Amino acid sequence: MTQNVAIVGLGLIGGSLGLALKRSKQDIHIIGFDRSYATADEAYRRGIIDSIAPSAKSACEKADVIIFATPVNTTAVLLEEASLWDFKDRVIISDTGSTKKPIMEAAKVLTDKGLTFIGGHPMAGSHKSGISAAKEHLFENAYYILTPHEGASSEQINQLSNLLQPTKGKIVVLNADEHDRMTAIVSHFPHIIASSLVGRLADQEKQQPFVKKLAAGGFRDLTRIASADPTMWRDITMQNREELLIQLDGWLQEMESIRTLIFENDPELIFRFFEDAKKFRDRLPSTSEGALQGALYMTFDLHIDIPDHPGVISEITKILADEQISITNIRIVETRTDVYGILVISFQNTDDRKAARAVLSRTTDYSMHIL
């Protein structure tokens, strides 16, 4: 029996989800809707969806499973509107938002009517956005968090989990509070810190213009996430405000302790501070060792020591092109006090990075280092 799946919002996440579901062995018909008809048309032409709905309401009323792949604020509005829609019996409704408590609260208008809502958050992203950037493997080796409403049965959670299996993500069930607390710690709060570090650099540049050039190495990599969409992060900050305030209070206490540490200038205590941080950081799981992608979108970089002679970069990129290995970015690093290798090549996933390292090791004499 055909299962109708509605995807509302056909950007990077919704489009990639559609492509992933197309790999399913189940009989699935994907109904797509996007407020941009050009986006919906592209999704249909690429085979991401099987039919275009004229409205979100039309898509949802025909579906057995509904996934809102829209920004959290938009999803909250749609859930309010959906309280007036007619749904099929035993429909399962989900979303892909990166904060869950606001979504679960918005979904209460549906769960109060006996409908099943299971929040979702695929922890994957890309340096690009929109339907044109959609990839069927976007969610592979990434955590896909589900936050079921208390009324959802284990059978319904399993049904949604089985539907999502073709994404090849790791399905984990949490409650909304746990999700938002943990993502605040490892994703949302680091974005704020990265942005504040960039702000400090911008202030210092007024007196020391050359400092920006020195930031092209490790500082640039450390603060990469500050380049994310400011509209999205404005919304996330407001949506997860309570958890972020808790993290900021803890951070301020930590910074005061570190200030005291530096003021007192005890070499043993200062050494222990860096040693403890190094030990804990070195124990964190690494994607190069097979760990799953975490909450932060990451690039998969290969750092290469190369000689300075004409044509060396084109030689390397040709080797990768001949092996059908796609790169997402390439750059030269001049300030390298804490970065290995002058050439940095970024890949979409860990498999591409491994393949690139293997082929370059076989065909060149360059020394490879992966951070």
- 176 membership: H or E segment, kind and range: helix 176-183
How many whole angstroms from its chain centre is CA 338?
26
Which of 19, 221, 229, 18 is closest to 127 using CA atoms? 229
What CA–CA distance (Å, rounded) separates 371 from 366? 16
For 84-115, letters b (16+ CB in 10 Å) and e give: ebebeeebbbbbbbbbbbbbbebbebbbeeeb
- The torsion defined by the Cα of 290, 291, 294 and 299, in degrees rounded to 10, comes to -30
pLDDT of residue 371: 45
Contact assessment for residue 147 and residue 203, using Cβ atoms and an 8 Å cutoff: no
Q: What percent of the chain has pLDDT over 70?
A: 89
Q: List Cα–Cα distances, 252 to 79, 186, 210, 336, in angstroms.
A: 37, 17, 30, 30
Amino acid at 81: E
> Among 98-112, 129-143, 205-219, which range has the highest average pLDDT?
98-112
Does residue 2 register a pLDDT over 80? yes
**pLDDT interval class at 370 (50, 70, 90):** very low
| CA distance from start to end of the chain | 48
pLDDT of residue 318: 87
Contact assessment for residue 365 and residue 328, using Cβ atoms and an 8 Å cutoff: no
Domains of the chain: 3-174 (3.40.50.720), 179-285 (1.10.3660.10), 300-369 (3.30.70.260)
At a CB cut-off of 8 Å and minimum separation 6, what does 356 contact? 302, 320, 323, 325, 327, 345, 347
- Give 67-115 pLDDT, tens digit per residue: 999 999 999 999 999 999 999 999 999 999 999 999 999 999 999 999 9
At a CB cut-off of 8 Å and minimum separation 6, what does 332 contact? 342, 343, 344
Q: What percent of the chain has pLDDT over 90?
A: 58
CA angle (67, 70, 75) in 5-degree steps: 80
pLDDT of residue 76: 95
- Strands, E assignment, 165-260: 170-173
- Give 328-346 pLDDT, tens digit per residue: 778 776 544 444 457 788 8
Please, what is the average pLDDT of the chain? Answer: 87
At a CB cut-off of 8 Å and minimum separation 6, what does 309 contact? none
Classified as helix, coil or strand, 340 is coil
**Residues in a beta bridge with 94:** 67, 118
pLDDT of residue 105: 95
- Give 30-46 pLDDT, tens digit per residue: 999 999 999 999 999 99
Neighbours of 353 (CB within 10 A): 22
85 secondary structure, DSSP code: S
